[in-house]
Amino acid sequence: FEAGQCHGIGRCEWVMRGTWYDGEWVHGAQHGMGEAGSLRVPSKERGQGAAARMPAMAAHICRMEKGERQENLAVSHVIPEHGTMISVELHANSQDRALCQAAAGSALGDMQQLAPLWGIAFGNAEEWLGGKFNVLIITRILDGGALSRWSAAKKAERRAGHGVEGEPILANAMIWKVNGISGDVDAMVRELLETDGRQKLLLEVHNPPCA
């Protein structure tokens, strides 16, 4: 943000309209390259089960000028294509556990939840569009937290020229799986927030379009 307006790279959702924009902003307006998308949640009458509840989605990488779409450049795949998911293995240390204890009972408001053991803030599934197709959106990565350390290690390995799998995780990435749980966003949230006896967390993540 700059002077209270979106400026730089970020995501904004218009939940009531079922639309979003994830990309470049200048002084509060979409300006540059980004992903513009929309979704429509099927009515209950159209079927039952997870497949029936998956909303119809359409998204494009587009060029924006002062808030107006100028052209669509390519189709953007909101549901990750095979082989594009990033497998993340996080390990909690003593500092993470101390932060978790200090943050017990704290809240980030109605829009976000905090998983301090893993250094992740994520959007409340009831308030973000990702919850409608059972994913969680990372809204902030805490400095020095488990996810921040994992990403820093990936950056260091790349600078050293090692051919490593995975890439640093960015804010606005989508979490599709938590410790093997997918397709049930409430269960994913419970697993992400669980702290008792936890030392390790496995995530499947897809970075935002700006990556």
For residue range 6-42, what is the model confidence (pLDDT) as tens digits?
889 999 999 999 999 999 999 999 999 999 999 986 6
pLDDT computed for residue 48 by the predictor: 44
With a cut of 90, say whether residue 101 has pLDDT above it: no
In this predicted model, what pLDDT tens digit does every residue of 157-169 receive, in sequence order?
Answer: 887 776 666 689 9
50 has pLDDT over 70: no
CA distance readout (Å), 172 to 46, 80, 87, 142: 31, 14, 16, 13
Return mean pLDDT, the chain.
88
Tell me, what's the pLDDT at 167?
85
Most confidently modeled range among 2-16, 102-116, 176-190: 176-190
Q: Which two tokens stand for residue 92?
A: 């909690």
Query: Rounded to an integer, what distance in angstroms lies between the CA atom of residue 131 and that of residue 86?
Result: 20
Type of residue at 32: G
Q: Quick one: pLDDT at residue 192? A: 96
* 139 against 101, higher pLDDT: 139
pLDDT tens, position by position, 113-150: 999 999 999 999 999 999 999 999 999 999 999 999 99
Q: Please, what is the Cα angle at 132 between 43 and 141, to 5 degrees?
A: 175
H runs (alpha helix) in 24-172: 50-53, 94-102, 146-159
Amino acid 211: pLDDT: 73
pLDDT for position 46 = 38
Among left, alpha and beta (phi > 0; psi -120 to 50; other), residue 147 is alpha
pLDDT band (50, 70, 90) for residue 93: very high
Q: In this predicted structure, what is the pLDDT of residue 21?
A: 96
Helices (H), the chain: 50-53, 94-102, 146-159, 185-193
- The predicted model gives 98-111 an average pLDDT of 79
76 has a pLDDT exceeding 90: yes
What does the radius of gyration of the chain's CA atoms come to, in whole angstroms? Answer: 18
Statement: residue 105 has pLDDT above 80: no
pLDDT value of position 164:
60
Q: What pLDDT was estimated at residue 42?
A: 62
| Confidence check: pLDDT of 198 > 50 | yes
Q: What is the pLDDT of residue 177?
A: 97
pLDDT at residue 45, rounded to an integer: 41
